[in-house]
Amino acid sequence: MRPLYFAAASFLITSFVAPAAAQAPGATADEPIVVQGQRDTEDRPSVVTKLRRMIDESTGDQLARFEDEICPAVIGMPADWTAILARIIRENIVATGGKVGKEGCSVNAAVIFIDQPQELLWALNKEEPSFFMNMSPREFDQFSGPRRAAYSWHTVNTYTKDGVHMDKVSRFASATRLYTNVREEMESGLVVIDRRATIGKSLRQLADFATMHLMLDVNWRTPHVDRSSILSLFHSHDDGPPLRMSSFDRNALSGFYLQRENNRTADQQRQNIARAIERQEEGKSAVGTKRDD
């Protein structure tokens, strides 16, 4: 049985979040369905570059993903908002090729809204360091040190290409230029969002943002975030933040999660995702041409 870490620290998380949970955050309670007007027209090199900026690599030179069902939970919002957020996240997971657990499943992906996100990270690291098992003490300090509107991370382990857990000493066995006999799997994921930063944000925006951070190991180190991406939700925008995932966001998720096998090098994975994005864009262009005719 693959380890899950939420049960061990659920009391700690609840003790941090519960006192402020009744305070209504500023996020608008509506669920606007607005399609972003921009289209991504980048060529292959820029697509790969955007993917490199967007998705971080694991220590095994791969892009980790959930292979098992994702069981999301939302903590720290009023109950009616929580239900909407959880529903949208579940719908996003299915729509982009992921597998989602049934209601009542064991949580392995949590979205936590809290007024003191840094303090929660520090407390988790002190009381349940297994949450950060893939980070060294220095890496954790670098990750948790800067004050940000959101933090996300995953616990990742090494499995054979057939899904059997293996010791890290065998991580690079039988590796070739394009693929290995192992894959890096996400076992759990957390997104911690500063509740004060949600003022003026819709539930659709928050759910789409959380989905990206749960399904991908988002690269928090990159100074550049595409302004059309929902990942820029908490960045400054002259004309307002994106209303939902961009087509690039959604196609990046589906291009990654619809790959049949994931025992590839990070470079090969990015190339595969880029090709999937291009096919989606070409398909939309073809449909548009037919309509014009």
Q: What is the pLDDT along the chain (293 residues), one digit of tens a residue?
A: 344 456 555 656 666 665 444 444 455 545 553 333 334 444 444 899 999 999 999 877 899 999 999 999 999 999 999 999 999 999 999 999 999 999 899 999 999 999 999 999 999 999 888 889 999 999 999 999 989 999 999 999 887 666 666 655 454 455 555 566 788 899 999 999 999 999 999 999 999 999 999 999 999 988 678 899 999 999 988 889 999 999 999 999 999 999 988 888 899 999 999 999 999 888 765 545 444 44
Q: What predicted TM-score, i.e. pTM, was given to this entire model?
A: 0.83
pLDDT confidence of residue 221: 87
Could you count the other beta carbons within 10 Å of the beta carbon of residue 290? 8
Residue type (1 letter), 273: I
What are the Cα distances from residue 191, in Å, to 15, 153, 273, 285?
Answer: 17, 7, 23, 35
Domain assignment of residue 274, yes or no: yes
pLDDT confidence of residue 244: 97
Domain assignment of residue 241, yes or no: yes
What are the Cα distances from residue 12, in Å, to 15, 114, 125, 250?
Answer: 5, 13, 11, 33
Residue 253 CA to residue 93 CA, distance in Å, equals 9
Closest CA to 108 of 183, 185, 161, 179: 185
Residue 140 CA to residue 122 CA, distance in Å, equals 9
pLDDT confidence of residue 210: 98
The answer to whether 128 and 98 have CB atoms below 8 angstroms apart is no
Please, how many CA atoms are within 13 Å of residue 12, restricted to the half-sphere of its CB?
A: 17
Residue 134 CA to residue 145 CA, distance in Å, equals 17
Domain assignment of residue 1, yes or no: no
Report how many domains make up the chain.
Answer: 1
Domain assignment of residue 53, yes or no: yes
Q: Which domain holds residue 34?
A: 6-292
pLDDT confidence of residue 68: 93
Domain assignment of residue 231, yes or no: yes
pLDDT confidence of residue 182: 80
